[in-house]
Structure 1
């Protein structure tokens, strides 16, 4: 399982981390996101049994205090994988919030979670 993210003010995409912020601004971050996902994202038995592989893309907000809110599935995979990704994100520790000239602000995130049977 692999996680990658894209930080953006309103667009989509999820291949790598991209900061679309100008000077004085910093996107919300979660150090060790890939490691956290590798240790906490469960591969649903239903998906394993059916041989399902692929990715789930989630959209969510990081609040000004680092809390994950408003989780939406942008690209579903089914077979319990969507729910597994949502559950993992809901239970994550807080993120470091985005900063706008020293003030913590809300930030939208797009994160991709890959489900691969051989990993």
Structure 2
């Protein structure tokens, strides 16, 4: 059993010097024609999508501007119509008709008036 025992040595052993690790430089592989076509196709699709987004954004902006202009025009027309209705109501009122008749020396007799609203 003595032959199987671990052998101790009293002499100091020098550790082997660590070899500096050398980095292996790899060359970039050349792209195949298929890879170049794929990259070109994907780039073209992305560019088309970018242009589409910008175009749709511009169309949306134009539509909003057009809608705002139409809303303003509608409000202006509504105000004009309301003013005209008010003017018509004032001019067709009994008091105004009496004033105009007096101004032009006209008389209004009830026997000559017909009610057309019935």
* TM-score category (smaller protein): under 0.3
Normalized per residue, the structure richer in strand is 1
Asked which structure has the greater RCO (Cα within 8 Å, sep 6+), the reply is: 1
* TM-score, with length taken from structure 2: 0.18
* TM-score, with length taken from structure 1: 0.18
